[in-house]
Amino acid sequence: MTDYIVAIDLGTSHITGIVGEKNTDGTFSIIACETVDPVSCIRRGIIYNRDNTATHVSSLLRRLESHLKGNFIDKVYIGIGGQSLHTVDHIEVKDIADGAAVTKEDIDVLKDQCEKYKPDLLDVLDVAPPVYYLDGRRDTNPVGVPCKRFEAHYKLVVGRSSIRRDITKSIKELARKELAGIIVSPLALADAMLSREEKELGCALVDFGAGVTTVSVYKDGNLLHMSVIPLGGNLITRDIISLQLTEAEAEKLKKEHGSAVLHKADEGEIIRVDMEGADREIEVNDLNAVIEGRAKEIIENVYARINEVTELKSLGSGIVLAGCAAELKNLPELLKEKCKIKVRPSAIRGGLVRGSGDMLGNPLYMLAVSLMLKGVEPCVSRPFTEHVASKGPETDAPETGDTGTSRSGNSGTQRSEGGTDNIKRPKGKGLKEKIKDLFGED
């Protein structure tokens, strides 16, 4: 059976699901990718309405299953994000006997101590690889080095406890899909986009989404800081609505004519908007004055978050700009002007995914692809049909069940609404009993 990984990005403006085939060389081939509109059930990167989220995810998974030739999606990886995500510093210390060297067991002891740490009112969602210090000196490979005081400096990624609880309730209990894992989205995105050299030289990954903007800073190969700004592209759209436009028209104008920077050349240019009841005329500079004001506010916040933890000029690899809202015209130029360092658009690193064309540079899919790349546990299974189940003499006849709603696309195999197979697995004898029947007790 082919190893398929299924991952879902719960975005504010779209929910994206992806199925990837894991190749023998460690790369992935994308089998299917689908998106649905979350219709406000995801707000600022977190689940707002559990029931509606479960409904949209179930619909998305049915569409993905239609590409899998009758195979079923049993479990999924879910990306976790939201405005409460941030990093906190945590240090674990161990005294080493005089004259002795650090061992692998010492590292494991500190790791176990770190995993037992529970911050007040927050969940530890992930732990970035630690930085080690021996008698105050940094060391990337401490095993075998003698010292008296051994320290491990951890970056814990934490968030509100409700984030994990809402995902479990919505996906596992309501959509009835097992969770293969919950992955911190900004960490997955950074691993998929930033090279080892970029992390070593220093780099800030800015994910400019619809609901929030996430800033992740790397230095000397390690995660230095992560925080979430509760401002995103949707806020720009709401500002444009103040020009007496509907939300749909405001979003359309932002994408087609919007710019993060005002240009004198646009003075006097008019946009004609076809609206039910009465057409409108809007000056391009009136539109972009609204956009520029909010874009500058968001960039000021990005600048402040990075500047809190390191000097911007020390980031040798500059800023990498990701997210669907980062498609706003002239946004990279505005960010570069403020931060005085180079800014480049994001893309999945080469050599990770085979032949997916423009998908690897499309912000709509990049986070889902990044989550898929972190998957290790197969998520898709081939069902037992009545024909296969009744073939062998050692199996009992399969039980029958009520017919449910078709959820496997072209195959026509039936499943119930809750996601449970109505095709019953045969109650055959165990392996030990089968061997006894064939060869006797000996």
Q: Which helix (H) or strand (E) holds 63?
A: helix 50-65
Residue-wise pLDDT for 321-357, tens only, equals: 999 999 999 999 999 999 999 999 989 998 999 877 6
User: By the 8 A CB rule, do 27 and 373 touch?
Assistant: no
Report pLDDT for 187: 97
Confidence of residue 390 (pLDDT cuts 50, 70, 90): very low
HSE-up (13 A, CA, CB side) for residue 154: 20
Residue-wise pLDDT for 250-306, tens only, equals: 999 999 999 999 887 778 789 988 777 677 889 999 999 999 999 999 999 999 999
Residue-wise pLDDT for 392-403, tens only, equals: 444 443 333 333
Distance of CA 159 to the CA centre of its chain: 15
Residue-wise pLDDT for 68-100, tens only, equals: 988 999 999 999 998 899 999 999 999 999 889
Least Cα distance to 232 among 383, 363, 61 occurs for 363
Residue labelled with tokens 């991952």:
7
DSSP strand pairing (149-160 vs 122-134): antiparallel
Averaged pLDDT score across all residues of the chain: 86
Is the pLDDT score of 405 beyond 70? Answer: no
| Cα Rg, the chain, nearest whole Å | 26
DSSP, collapsed to helix, strand or coil, labels residue 437 as helix
Distance of CA 440 to the CA centre of its chain: 54
Least Cα distance to 202 among 189, 214, 220 occurs for 220
Residue labelled with tokens 């946004």:
331
